[in-house]
A and B are shown apart, each in its own frame.
Chain A
Amino acid sequence: MTTSATAGDRTAWRAGWGIALAVAFVLAVVASIAFGSVPLGLRAVLGGLIGHSDPVTRTIVHDLRLPRAMAAALVGAALALSGTTFQALLRNPLAEPYVLGVSGGAALGAVGSITLAQFIPVPWPVPVGAAVGSCVAIALVVRVALGVGPTLDPRILLLAGVIVGAFANAGIFLLLSMADVAAFRSATIWMMGSLSGSNWSGVTLLAVVLVPSFIALLALARPLNALAIGEETASYLGVSVERTKWIAYIVASLLAAAAVAAAGIVGFVGLIVPHAVRLVWGSNHRTLLPVAAILGATFVLLTDVAARTIAAPTELPLGAVTAVIGVPVFVALLRRRGS
């Protein structure tokens, strides 16, 4: 009888947290639209969303706040999904979206675009440079990993990712050493992450990457569960181990690349969100993935609100705020798990 009581308690506990998370998400979206240089009341937010408002409010909501809120939610979801997947793929709870060099490649592409603009007109925007850089990094990691052996060995993948990231860092330092003051400043600010440049085309791009990735990852949820107990056992359960690892790696990398291209380097979301979700909902990826996406979205929405209101009118770098919140949260999660 104790068994069923425990299971019932856990179900109630999860349901409670689920409701809390759903409410937090909705509040975060509303807050993200309401807060800013022109604060909007709840009535103005709702009016602006459904079109029953004055033109100024509608412009603020539709052209500025809503794309920013959606970009924040999509970046948060992408980072959380990417981190969850990398942790399963690498069988390492410390893995996060940037562990395999995606952020290094993106930063090199972005910093390259910014510093190159000192000398010649650069025809592509910085996010495109970041996207190309991260894709090159992914390709390099695959190339290195495949050079070692025909199967995708997570340990080799990890080593290749660290090496490609280190190489990209060296490139960034070289570029920064040649940059003028303005380029140096904007490159540094880009690397700290920000959503201030969000627009509808960025949101569309994020959604185009996120939606199919999410479906692909849901299809991988059970295989990822099986991979968590080892590749050999997973194959005895009928899982196509190599195919699972390849799809997981490519999808998680593309999600990280899209997030970095849209918002720069926003750390800690992909690391702490999966841990927090596992504490309440367990390790089943069929639940873990969708809940992590919503918690990641909520977390980035709220940190973005904090980043632009705490020191207004100055906007704080988003990546710094996520880290300032993320580090103590991560320590608390570790202590909780230890007890």
Chain B
Amino acid sequence: MSPQTPGPAWRCERLSVWYQRARVAALADVSLDIASARCTAVLGPNGSGKSTFLKALLGVVEPSNGRVECFGQPLSEWSRPALARTVGVVAQEETEAFPMTARALVAMGRYPHLGPWRSEGPADAAAIAAAMDRCDVAGFADRSVDTLSGGERQRVRIARALAQSPRALALDEPTASLDLAHEMAILVLLRALADGGVTVVHITHHLMLAARYADRVVLLSEGRLVADGPPAEVLTPERVEQVFGWPVGLARTDAGIPYLVPLSGGR
């Protein structure tokens, strides 16, 4: 293991992204740090720039202005394979063109370490097995991915990203369209990964779950950074109502955990 660096996993300075022929910036003047070894949730309404922000962190969307650093090095200086050995990604959409087993899909995570020719060695097999154990998918290693449930498939994808042996994990709505148990299993997993020293940054629409499982929350609206900090400070009812355009109230469970509740009446 490399010694823990004190700096942030990502640092954005005045990051702006304009898509070609777009009237407004997809991201405007975003400056923030994403702390390493923490779980950060990126929140915001549809079209607020969450995916663009994540893609800018991953270097697949070029900043029109400003800069992004990843683990202390400007993103433009990272090579794709080096970045793939450092950051594992679970993208929003993914379909296998051909049937493949869960293990084969996880094994693809070793690509940045192996390149086109080198065969899987013991270290690769160990990384694959550890990632599958971590995500609790070893039990269906030999099953075809298209026979798995949505939640199982998503855990296989997270295992693939972990097989990259990354320092950071970026996920775009990893729990979209999952039922409660599968969603919770993934959030608990992400929480445990962050506690184990992996930087986790994920996009989500679930304010209450983000508030419970994330160390930090980044709130975007119309491409601008509204707030960034611990969930309890960022997700105040006033701010959520203003950003999402729907009234919310703050409640507490019997155990005293605060949570936001959408109120019944619209604007």
Is B133 an interface position by the 8 A CB rule? no
Distance, CA A335 to CA B205, complexed state (A): 41
Please give the distance in Å from B261's CB to the nearest CB on chain A: 35
**A221 touches which of B80, B98, B116 (Cβ 8 Å):** B116
Distance, CA A290 to CA B104, complexed state (A): 18
Distance, CA A200 to CA B105, complexed state (A): 44
Is B264 an interface position by the 8 A CB rule? no
Verify B84–A236 contact, CB threshold 8 A.
yes
Q: What 0/1 pattern do residues 72 to 100 of B give for CB contact below 8 A with A?
A: 00000000111111011101011111111
Is A93 an interface position by the 8 A CB rule? yes
A282: B residues at CB distance < 8 A: 99-101, 104
Verify B111–A238 contact, CB threshold 8 A.
yes
B85: A residues at CB distance < 8 A: 238
Q: What 0/1 pattern do residues 206 to 225 of A give for CB contact below 8 A with B?
A: 00000000000011111101
Verify A93–B97 contact, CB threshold 8 A.
yes
B58: A residues at CB distance < 8 A: 236
Decide yes or no: A91 and B97 within 8 Å by CB, A222-B111, A284-B104 being known contacts: yes
Interface size class on chain B is 35 or more
Please give the distance in Å from B95's CB to the nearest CB on chain A: 7
B164: A residues at CB distance < 8 A: 237
Verify B108–A229 contact, CB threshold 8 A.
yes
Verify A237–B84 contact, CB threshold 8 A.
yes
**B100 touches which of A218, A228, A235, A238 (Cβ 8 Å):** A228
Distance, CA A218 to CA B105, complexed state (A): 19
Please give the distance in Å from A230's CB to the nearest CB on chain B: 5
A233: B residues at CB distance < 8 A: 89, 91, 94
Decide yes or no: A237 and B141 within 8 Å by CB, A93-B98, A278-B98, A283-B98 being known contacts: no
Q: What 0/1 pattern do residues 59 to 82 of B give for CB contact below 8 A with A?
A: 010000000000000000000111
Decide yes or no: A6 and B142 within 8 Å by CB, A219-B116, A230-B94, A238-B85 being known contacts: yes
Please give the distance in Å from A89's CB to the nearest CB on chain B: 10
Verify B116–A220 contact, CB threshold 8 A.
yes
Give A274's nearest chain B residue, CB to CB.
B98
Verify A3–B142 contact, CB threshold 8 A.
yes
**A238 touches which of B60, B84, B139 (Cβ 8 Å):** B84
Q: What 0/1 pattern do residues 101 to 145 of B give for CB contact below 8 A with A?
A: 100110011011011110000000000000000000011011000
Verify B116–A88 contact, CB threshold 8 A.
no
Verify B112–A232 contact, CB threshold 8 A.
no
Q: Which of A58-104 contact B (CB under 8 A)?
A: 87-88, 91-93
Is A311 an interface position by the 8 A CB rule? no
Please give the distance in Å from A279's CB to the nearest CB on chain B: 10
Is A240 an interface position by the 8 A CB rule? yes
Verify A225–B60 contact, CB threshold 8 A.
no
A6: B residues at CB distance < 8 A: 142
Is A265 an interface position by the 8 A CB rule? no
Give A10's nearest chain B residue, CB to CB.
B142
Distance, CA A283 to CA B101, complexed state (A): 9
Decide yes or no: A222 and B98 within 8 Å by CB, A229-B105, A233-B89, A236-B91 being known contacts: no
Distance, CA A218 to CA B117, complexed state (A): 8
Please give the distance in Å from B157's CB to the nearest CB on chain A: 8
Which one of A218, A223, A232 has the greatest number of beta carbons of chain B within 10 Å?
A232
Q: Which of A1-39 contact B (CB under 8 A)?
A: 3, 6-7, 10
B99: A residues at CB distance < 8 A: 278, 282-283
Decide yes or no: A226 and B111 within 8 Å by CB, A232-B60, A232-B91 being known contacts: yes
B81: A residues at CB distance < 8 A: 238
Please give the distance in Å from A288's CB to the nearest CB on chain B: 9
B93: A residues at CB distance < 8 A: 230, 232
Distance, CA A172 to CA B42, complexed state (A): 58
Verify A222–B101 contact, CB threshold 8 A.
no
Verify B80–A238 contact, CB threshold 8 A.
yes
**A237 touches which of B96, B108, B138 (Cβ 8 Å):** B108
Give A227's nearest chain B residue, CB to CB.
B97
Q: What 0/1 pattern do residues 90 to 125 of A give for CB contact below 8 A with B?
A: 011100000000000000000000000000000000
Distance, CA A232 to CA B105, complexed state (A): 15
Verify B94–A229 contact, CB threshold 8 A.
yes
B94: A residues at CB distance < 8 A: 229-230, 232-233
A239: B residues at CB distance < 8 A: 80, 111
Distance, CA A6 to CA B140, complexed state (A): 11
Distance, CA A283 to CA B96, complexed state (A): 10
Which one of B89, B108, B164 has the greatest number of beta carbons of chain A within 10 Å?
B108
Verify A3–B108 contact, CB threshold 8 A.
no
Distance, CA A158 to CA B259, complexed state (A): 51
Give B60's nearest chain A residue, CB to CB.
A235
Give B164's nearest chain A residue, CB to CB.
A237
Please give the distance in Å from A147's CB to the nearest CB on chain B: 17
B100: A residues at CB distance < 8 A: 228, 282-284
Give B105's nearest chain A residue, CB to CB.
A229
**A-B residue pairs in contact (CB < 8 Å), sample of 24:** A3-B138, A3-B139, A3-B141, A3-B142, A7-B142, A225-B108, A226-B111, A227-B97, A228-B96, A230-B91, A233-B89, A233-B91, A236-B60, A236-B84, A236-B89, A237-B84, A237-B109, A237-B112, A238-B80, A238-B82, A238-B85, A239-B80, A282-B101, A284-B100
4 tightest Cβ-Cβ pairs between the two chains A and B = A238-B84, A238-B112, A236-B89, A238-B81
Chain B interface (Cβ < 8 Å from any Cβ of A): 58, 60, 80-85, 87-89, 91, 93-101, 104-105, 108-109, 111-112, 114-117, 138-139, 141-142, 164
